[in-house]
Amino acid sequence: MTRRKQHRFDYNSQSSMVVERGKEIYNDIKGHWKQDYFCNTQPLVVELACGKGEYTVGLAQAFPDKNFLGVDIKGDRIARGAKQAETLGLKNVGFLRTDINFLREFITNGEIDELWITFPDPQPRPKQEKHRLTHPRFLNEYKELLVPGGTLHLKTDSPGLFAYSLETVQETGFTDLQYTNDLYNSPLNAIHLGIKTKYEQIFFDKGFSINYLQCKNGRS
């Protein structure tokens, strides 16, 4: 491990912005994010596979009346987002370090108001399908974790994953689907507020179009 990475892991272990194994709150936070972590009753917005937290932090700046939680397994990446949020003085940001497969261990049913999936690994090979974050097994879990009518967002540069996701969100009972294959030339562009991750900016600069969808949790 490089010295820089070790420094980030050390930061995570001390930072109140990062919830990870070894901290008391790690085992007790399920169902209590708003009350015990953010200490308010504002809506909870979760970003899965948040990487360096660019989108989580960007949204938190834009919406101070909401709580934002970035989830990722990579501690060195999370540390960057947490440091940025701390530098900006944001109080409505947190990061959970865990595998997304274990999300249910930390979030209870109906606890999330809005869910973002931004540029996930497309897992393009057929045998990887079950690992796609828009596979039905994940989507059915999101439906339970989201409040009824809660919003699911997906942004991806992968046409294959996007086409797959358009099918699976409808098959699993999500409703009010809106989508575009060219976000930056679409009326839906206003939803993302111009926030771009590092890799999204690279894709955009190379002329790749960005696919986006949003839909509602049809669970009553």
Residue-wise pLDDT for 99-132, tens only, equals: 999 999 999 999 999 999 999 999 999 999 999 9
| Other Cβ atoms closer than 10 A to 22 | 8
Where exactly are the structural domains of the chain? 3-216
Dist CA 166 CA 160 (whole Å): 10
The secondary structure of residue 194, as a DSSP letter, is T
Token pair of 212, please?
């986006």
10, 121, 176, 182: which is the annotated catalytic residue?
121
Query: Which position has the token pair 């989508």?
Result: 179
The 3-state DSSP class for residue 191 equals helix
More confident residue, 90 or 195: 90
Kind and range of the H or E run holding 156: strand 146-156
Mean of the per-residue pLDDT values of the chain: 93
pTM: 0.94
Residue 220: the pLDDT is: 67
- Catalytic annotation on 176? no
Q: Is the domain covering 3-216 a CATH 3.40.50.150 domain? A: yes
